[in-house]
Chains A and B, each alone.
Chain A
Amino acid sequence: EVQLQESGPGLVKPSQSLSLTCSVTGYSITSNYWGWIRKFPGNKMEWMGYISYSGSTSYNPSLKSRISITRDTSKNQFFLQLNSVTTEDTATYYCARVVRAFDYWGQGVMVTVSS
């Protein structure tokens, strides 16, 4: 069974970087696409970007200067880095597999940006 699990700090200070890991079991990240999505307080959802089976990436232009998605195929993990965070980046962050759609999701990790 495909399982995804996000991990990372729940609290980040403004202007610092947010770094999250998505650990995948039951499926290789060298197949298909793997994405990050976040849900803000108040329920708005935002697609952040994805990394493909080959390692190519695509990002939401609204984040393009701050976001990086990378991977470690030996550990079957992919990563999100978001730089220069502000309180507006407070959200629950989800990783997901993309096969026709976002068909498998992690349970989400809540990240608060606060000093």
Chain B
Amino acid sequence: AQSVTQLGSHVSVSEGALVLLRCNYSSSVPPYLFWYVQYPNQGLQLLLKYTSAATLVKGINGFEAEFKKSETSFHLTKPSAHMSDAAEYFCAVSSRLGGSQGNLIFGKGTKLSVKP
């Protein structure tokens, strides 16, 4: 079975600092990987996705993630945090090996706080 582990349920950074949110996945075949953001009382918005093309994926709002097969990781980064980045971030993996149209398996989420 596939799974996702997000290290750190809560990350706090200062405005302008680097954001690093960690995600490790479990799979014997490179799956589709996703990062979603959830603002308070809102639904899930896709930030970026890895679909076995480029290993460095750029998303919206200045976020990017790098797929590292050797480390089974897909960490999310942003060079400079903004107050509006405060939200909960979920890493997800597709359940179908090879990634075609499978349901998503989510990590527990990481709540990002940004201090002024």
Q: Do they bind each other?
A: no
